Amino acid sequence: MNDFTPYSALIGGGLIGLAASGLVLLAGRIAGISGIAAGVFSARGHERLWRLAFVLGLVAGAAAIVHLAGIKVEVRSVATVPGLILAGLLVGFGSRLGSGCTSGHGICGIARLSPRSIVAVGVFMATAAIVVFIVRHVMGVTTWP
Amino acid sequence: MAVILAAFACGALFGAGLVVSRMTDPTVILAFLDVAGNWNPTLAFVMGGGLIAAVPGFLLARRRARPAFAADFQVPTRRDIDARLLIGAAIFGLGWGLAGICPGPGIAGLATGNDAFFVFVPAMLAGFALHALAERAFARK
């Protein structure tokens, strides 16, 4: 567990939760990234505009930490290009069909004690853990495919 | 206009939180999911920190008649567990387990300039589009 960073996790998680609280108290909306990002393309007018502002903010806030805060930001992606494309397609399709992802179900939904979200988080965590188990411990690879 | 600015500010806070908590590093995500390997509980602490800060917000929202800058709360009300929820979550989990990237860190990760996010995010958008097409095809039947 050399790579376990509990303090930055709690602080960063706190910022994420604060953002979710802020969005519901100020704008009355759920901070679900898959729904917001998809709405940038499917919604119209004001509904599209606030979603676009949120997505731009997401990149700007991340860029501020990466470029201005002086924190070393590691990105260690193990997936190959075909793996990333397959993963992106599955994540995009699945999050829309299942009405949410790690943010909308994982943070907002659990915070609201939504039974749908609690079930969804259980299902996607279990499925993802099974995939990692098969790839790493059955197939014995650390990169995909 | 106030909603647009609030959305940008909350998005920025969210993106900053994802980078600070290292959710933009797929290895940290996969190590959380690798329960049979060298398990890394970092993601659980991110969710914990997120819930500590989100629960009071949603409790407060429930006691308010309306949000500060908008006419009403648009919060999901469904409580039924249907096949779409289960199948969708399972498909999402398949992709998440493959690459260790989900929508928030995918988009925020673009700010790091790492190639992986520039492959993942367009594929994810294509996944959104495929879902919209599939829903439309189903609705026509």
Instruction: Give A88-113 as a DSSP string.
Output: HHHHHHHHHHTT--TTIIIIIIHHTT
Q: What's the CA gap between A42 and B82, in Å, rounded?
A: 24
ipTM here: 0.96
Q: Which residue of B has its CA nearest to A79?
A: B99
Is A34 in contact with B26 (Cβ distance < 8 A)?
no
Q: What's the CA gap between A32 and A124, in Å, rounded?
A: 15
Is A87 in contact with B74 (Cβ distance < 8 A)?
no
| pTM, rounded to two decimals | 0.96
Is B78 at the interface with chain A, CB within 8 A? Answer: yes
pLDDT, mean of residues B15-22: 98
What does the pLDDT read at residue A70?
Answer: 78
* Residue A115 CB coordination number (10 Å): 13
**Alpha carbon A79 to its chain's center:** 17
Distance of residue B65 Cα from the nearest chain A Cα, in angstroms: 10
DSSP class of A144 = B
Is B83 at the interface with chain A, CB within 8 A? Answer: no
Q: How many CB pairs under 8 A join A and B?
A: 513
Q: Given B45, B56, B115, which is nearest A9 (Cβ)?
A: B45
Is A125 in contact with B93 (Cβ distance < 8 A)?
yes
What does the pLDDT read at residue A1?
Answer: 53
pLDDT in tens, B38-50: 999 999 999 999 9
pLDDT, mean of residues B108-119: 97
Burial class (CB in 10 A: 0-12, 13-18, 19+), B75: middle
Residue with tokens 């908008």: B70
Q: What's the CA gap between A90 and B103, in Å, rounded?
A: 11
Which among A39, A41, A35 has a CA at the least distance from the CA of A102?
Answer: A35
* pLDDT at residue A145 tops 50: no
- Map residue A117 onto helix, strand or coil: helix
Return the CA Rg of chain B. Answer: 18
